[in-house]
Structure 1
Amino acid sequence: MPVPRVIIDQIKRLLPPLDGSLHKGQSGRVGVLGGALDYTGAPFFAAFSALRFGADLSHVICSPTAAGAIKSYSPDLIVHPILNESSTSDQVKPHLQSLLSRLHVLIVGPGLGREPYMQSFARLAINLARQNGMYLVLDADALFLIGHDLSIIKGYRRAVLTPNVVEFKRLSEQVGVDPSTPLGERAGLVSKLLGGVTVLQKGARDIISIDTTGGEADLAKSHIEAKGSQNEQAQETIIVDVEGGLKRCGGQGDVLSGSVGTFMAWGKCYEDGAFGDGTLPISRVPLLAAVGGSMVTRAASKRAFAKEGRGVVTQDMLGELGPAFAEHFGAEERGGGKL
């Protein structure tokens, strides 16, 4: 089942024009918070994917133990080693505030780990991002964090969660979804019970769902409303079944996070009036970003697998993001609704 044409057209309206009218930064400033002693590849893949996707600037906010390795991977990334285990949240807060004020989106989770100090800094960053009205992508161990305190993200409609199969099962249980609920309805219920947060359920097909009612009813009522969503328009669900590669390897989810984050950064640029006519409702941005990021990431995976086969690694996908983007959204898109 192809993604509806109306969704594709709306996604294209978020593309920054390539006509020389924008200055540096108006095609997206992306931040990735993650990277501790044992995890340096994940934040790199997320941040560098954003650049290959088309963002102007990509920042990595990490611990000093990870900074050297991440800097060595690419000189294109701006690395901030401010998440020091010996620092308190009060000491880190002003540095985070300064950084976040310069970004359009914050991706939290790739390479975050579960050390208490990294989890604490992630919580602080999410709270600051919410205060600033930033777009958020939460993946990996950021999902572990919010699973223990749903209030961190509940009701924040500028966020996209990107759980894999295991993470989605755990999150569904944590929010109280009945395990007998049909698989196709679960993402919508998770969105509802989290107050309208967009959910990108990764799998053989990616299921992207957002609850549009704004209510936080109990599970029984929400289940009934979910079943009647086609008539009541309480939820919107898009299934992305673009063919991907046949080999899964660690890091592909980080590429997805960077791709979704870039679309959200473009949405913020659109919202700020950098391009476009301003007629696309901003409430559409998280859903559109999730769909667009999913489509391109899956296509890049397929292209990389076609070249490398069983030996494919995530790094092989980075060079395929541009061609995969062109495959679905055009090689010479002018963006801003001028197609």
Structure 2
Amino acid sequence: MAAQLDRTLVRAIRQAIPSLSNDFHKGQYGKIGIVGGSLEYTGAPYYAGISALKTVRGVDLCHIFCTKEAAIPIKCYSPELIVHPLLTQDTNAIMKINEVLPRLDALVLGPGLGREPFVLDLVKKVVESAKAMQLPMVLDGDALYLLSTDTSLIHGYVHTILTPNIVEYGRLCVATGLMEKLDIHKARLIPPAQLSQSLGNVTVLQKGKQDSVSDGTTTLTNTIEGCPRRCGGQGDVLAGTVGSFLAWHQCQSKLKNQVNEALINPLLVVALGGSMLTRQSAAMAFAEKKRSMTTPDLIQHLGEAFIHLYEN
């Protein structure tokens, strides 16, 4: 079943968003973890984490699990991020990460992760721990590369959202047997419902001219235009905003009630909400900055875009 953006879906997304209240304490609006950050890539986990925090009514706390080399730069980018340099070869690394995971409401894996073998091996253990705790996850960037090498990692774990770009999408299509070899043009023709089904009905957010979200049964399309600028980091912002919606979903029952009434998988609503917010922010940033727009400009418009979409 395919569905365009309509008032029913927008209403469902709005129901996912918690109301602010003076009666709440720190953490009740969500706590998120970002697994990523390496020597070469420190900006990506920062963008994902700060986007989760700056989404209006965003999550309260953001933990970043990164390599030792990435920790100081990320700490210097923002004092709001709680940084754990635990992606190491230390045999106790997974134990230390597992001590933090139960405090979280959602996990985003992949921004700036890199492909060091010991890091990827550790991330596999993190995924297994998250599954055992029924912790919902967003997989992006090099976590999707890892998945393309071992699709059993999240097969059938329906508390998962994948956010692939076209190359990552193509790799996953090859890994699941939907294509013989990587061909971006052919990959564009494979609907996300097929990829979702081949991975046990996890939620797939296929990025493109229009973002499409599918759980293998229902497909939703985000028709917000976004912007023609393709600066580095936009995908990390999307991972962070989707992660924020996912944490909200864990924190409250509103979304579950609304989704059950509408017979829509809540993770579809979560992914669509983050996609809409990111594209609207990008459109606003491009309208102001034109070709000079970069990802920090997009992040600065998250609040304005949120109010435009969900509070007016």
- Report the TM-score when normalising by structure 1: 0.85
Which residue of structure 1 lines up, in the alignment, with residue 307 of structure 2?
Answer: 326
Structure 1: unaligned runs, 5 residues or longer: 212-234, 332-339
- DSSP 3-state at the match of 1:13: helix
Which residue of structure 2 lines up, in the alignment, with residue 225 of structure 1?
Answer: none
Which residue of structure 2 lines up, in the alignment, with residue 290 of structure 1?
Answer: 271
Find the partner of 1:87 among 86, 90, 94: 90
Contact 1:29 1:56 in 2 (8 A): yes
The one-letter amino acid paired with 1:188 is: A
Aligned equivalents of 2:256, 2:214: Cα separation in 1: 24
Is 1:269 aligned to 2:251, yes or no? yes
Which residue of structure 1 lines up, in the alignment, with residue 211 of structure 2?
Answer: 206
Structure 2: unaligned runs, 5 residues or longer: none
Contact 1:264 1:285 in 2 (8 A): no
Aligned equivalents of 2:286, 2:106: Cα separation in 1: 30
RMSD over aligned CA atoms reads: 1.9
Larger Rg: 1
What does 1:122-133 align with in structure 2 at a 5 Å threshold? Answer: 122-133=123-134
Aligned equivalents of 1:123, 1:100: Cα separation in 2: 14
Deviation at 1:96, TM superposition (A): 1.1
Aligned equivalents of 1:195, 1:278: Cα separation in 2: 21
Which residue of structure 2 lines up, in the alignment, with residue 280 of structure 1?
Answer: 258
Deviation at 1:279, TM superposition (A): 2.3
Which residue of structure 2 lines up, in the alignment, with residue 300 of structure 1?
Answer: 281
Change in Cα spacing, 1:182 to 1:139, as seen in structure 2 (3 Å) is closer
Which has the higher mean CA deviation after the structures are superposed, 187-196 or 3-12?
3-12
What does 1:311-322 align with in structure 2 at a 5 Å threshold? Answer: 311-322=292-303
Contact 1:177 1:186 in 2 (8 A): no
Aligned equivalents of 1:184, 1:319: Cα separation in 2: 34
Which residue of structure 1 lines up, in the alignment, with residue 102 of structure 2?
Answer: 101
- DSSP 3-state at the match of 1:239: strand
Deviation at 1:207, TM superposition (A): 0.8
Deviation at 1:133, TM superposition (A): 0.3
The one-letter amino acid paired with 1:292 is: G
Contact 2:249 2:255 in 1 (8 A): no
Which residue of structure 2 lines up, in the alignment, with residue 260 of structure 1?
Answer: 242
Change in Cα spacing, 1:182 to 1:278, as seen in structure 2 (3 Å) is closer
Find the partner of 2:77 among 73, 76, 88: 73
Change in Cα spacing, 1:278 to 1:253, as seen in structure 2 (3 Å) is closer
The one-letter amino acid paired with 2:198 is: L
Aligned equivalents of 1:167, 1:178: Cα separation in 2: 13
Change in Cα spacing, 1:8 to 1:81, as seen in structure 2 (3 Å) is same
- DSSP 3-state at the match of 1:23: coil
Change in Cα spacing, 1:27 to 1:166, as seen in structure 2 (3 Å) is same
Find the partner of 1:50 among 43, 49, 52: 52
Which has the higher mean CA deviation after the structures are superposed, 306-315 or 290-299?
306-315
Deviation at 1:182, TM superposition (A): 8.8
Q: What is the identity percentage for the equivalent residue pairs of Structure 1 and Structure 2?
A: 41
Deviation at 1:22, TM superposition (A): 2.1
The one-letter amino acid paired with 1:280 is: Q
The one-letter amino acid paired with 1:237 is: T
Find the partner of 2:41 among 21, 24, 39: 39
Aligned equivalents of 2:168, 2:98: Cα separation in 1: 29
Which residue of structure 1 lines up, in the alignment, with residue 232 of structure 2?
Answer: 250
Aligned residue pairs, count? 301
Which residue of structure 2 lines up, in the alignment, with residue 11 of structure 1?
Answer: 13
- DSSP 3-state at the match of 2:194: helix
Aligned equivalents of 1:14, 1:310: Cα separation in 2: 34
- DSSP 3-state at the match of 1:163: coil
- DSSP 3-state at the match of 2:16: coil
Deviation at 1:244, TM superposition (A): 0.9
Contact 1:172 1:186 in 2 (8 A): no
